[in-house]
């Protein structure tokens, strides 16, 4: 009897310990700040191995790398919230870069040397992003095409078109000779703060307010949670989804402005390698692939996490293939965490 009672007590203790551990893990997985915890833990773990990561120059480079990626990831957040995806963003970045540069360049640009060159060039960037986003949204909502097919074909078409356009406007593989006033957007600063950071702050704050404090934002979450129920409730589902693609396209165009200004040239391969980063940043931040869940703050955390990983791997001298493999693993990890969150929520 004593042995039986003792065994039962031990089993109860183990069960209680398991419940406490499981409860702690579930709270961590469900935490809105999980990505920030992961970033801090990773940074502290890699710091002794690569002390250079904590130097002022490395931190400055991380901020520089983070800002354009953050802007385009913010646009992707809107699309993912309604359970869509936009794979065309990197091609929008490249195509807007060469077309906008062809308007401003002093080497035979359409408005080269004109005081209207920079305003017209910036407007060209934004119009291209908005129009391509509108076309993606139109195909998805009015024609009923799957977003992954529409944006994947857009990625391929725009990539080729950007190269073709460049060959017709430059004897080299890029379009240089951009006005100094435009270059300052990507390289300059105001009040000691990089201009790119000011741009990212405006985009981020505007997106945060749009998602969290407007009827449009509530529509997007409702669509992501249950599209049919949202439609029955009177939400203009098609129009709202179309606008998420427009927002994604415009954010990609703004990121293109920052990239192009920093490089001082329009190039048809701009942003070619960051599609994986964009998707990973948004998903690892906590935005659900199933839709209905996402915040701009989470995306900021996801971008920061990816940039810290990328910087550490480069400082370690890892090859590009290793970097891609690690980022692919990060996306898989984020998807697993997302699935675990859904199961925990459904279990109550």
Helix (H, G, I), strand (E, B) or coil at 40: helix
> Rounded to an integer, what distance in angstroms lies between the CA atom of residue 312 and that of residue 72?
22
| Cβ-contact 32, 340 below 8 angstroms | no
pTM over 0.95: no
Q: Angle at the Cα of 220 (from 39 to 35), degrees rounded to 5?
A: 5
What is residue 51's DSSP assignment?
G
CATH architecture of the region 33-347? Orthogonal Bundle (1.10)
Task: Give the residue among 280, 312, 260 at the shortest CA–CA distance from 48.
Answer: 312
DSSP output for 219-253: HHHHHHH-HHHHHHTT--HHHHHHHHHHHHHHHHH
Residues 77 and 295: their CA atoms lie apart, in Å, by 8
Q: Across the 348 residues of the chain, what is the mean pLDDT of every consecutive 10-residue run?
A: 51 50 70 85 91 90 91 97 96 97 92 93 97 97 95 96 93 92 93 93 97 96 95 95 98 97 94 87 87 93 92 86 81 79 74
The pLDDT score that the predictor gives to residue 144 is 93
Q: Report the half-sphere exposure of 125 (CA within 13 A, side-chain side).
A: 26
- CA 210 – CA 205 distance, rounded (Å): 9
pLDDT score recorded for residue 321 = 83
């Amino acid at each position: 009897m004593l042995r039986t009672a003792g065994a039962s007590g031990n089993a109860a203790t183990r069960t209680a310990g398991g419940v406490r551990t499981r409860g702690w893990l579930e709270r961590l997985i469900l935490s809105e700040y999980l990505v920030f915890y992961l970033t801090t833990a990773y940074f502290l773990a890699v710091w002794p191995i690569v002390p250079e990561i904590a130097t002022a120059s490395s931190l400055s480079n991380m901020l520089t790398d983070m800002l354009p990626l953050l802007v385009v990831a913010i646009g992707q957040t809107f699309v993912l919230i309604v359970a869509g995806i936009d794979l065309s963003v990197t091609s929008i970045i490249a195509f807007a870069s060469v077309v906008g540069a062809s308007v401003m360049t002093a080497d035979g640009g359409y408005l080269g040397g004109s005081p209207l060159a920079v305003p017209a060039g910036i407007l060209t960037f934004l119009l291209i992003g908005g129009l391509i986003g509108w076309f993606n949204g139109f195909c998805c909502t009015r024609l009923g095409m799957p977003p992954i097919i529409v944006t994947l074909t857009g990625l391929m078409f725009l990539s080729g078109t950007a190269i073709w356009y460049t060959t017709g406007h430059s004897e080299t593989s890029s379009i240089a000779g951009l006005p100094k006033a435009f270059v300052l957007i990507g390289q300059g600063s105001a009040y000691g703060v990089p201009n790119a950071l000011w741009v990212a702050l405006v985009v981020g704050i505007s997106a945060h307010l749009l998602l969290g404090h407007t009827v449009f934002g509530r529509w997007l979450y409702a669509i992501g949670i249950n599209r049919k129920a949202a439609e029955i409730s009177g939400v203009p589902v098609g129009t709202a989804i179309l606008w998420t693609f427009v927002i994604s396209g415009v954010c990609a165009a703004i990121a293109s402005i920052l990239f192009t200004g920093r490089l001082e040239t329009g190039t048809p391969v701009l942003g070619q390698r960051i599609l994986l980063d964009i998707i990973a940043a948004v998903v690892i931040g906590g935005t659900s692939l199933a839709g209905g869940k996402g915040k701009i703050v989470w995306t900021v955390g996801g971008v920061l996490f990816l940039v810290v990983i990328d910087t550490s791997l480069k400082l370690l001298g890892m090859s590009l293939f290793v970097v891609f493999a690690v980022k692919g693993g990060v996306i898989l990890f984020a998807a697993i965490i997302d699935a675990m969150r859904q199961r925990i929520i459904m279990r109550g």
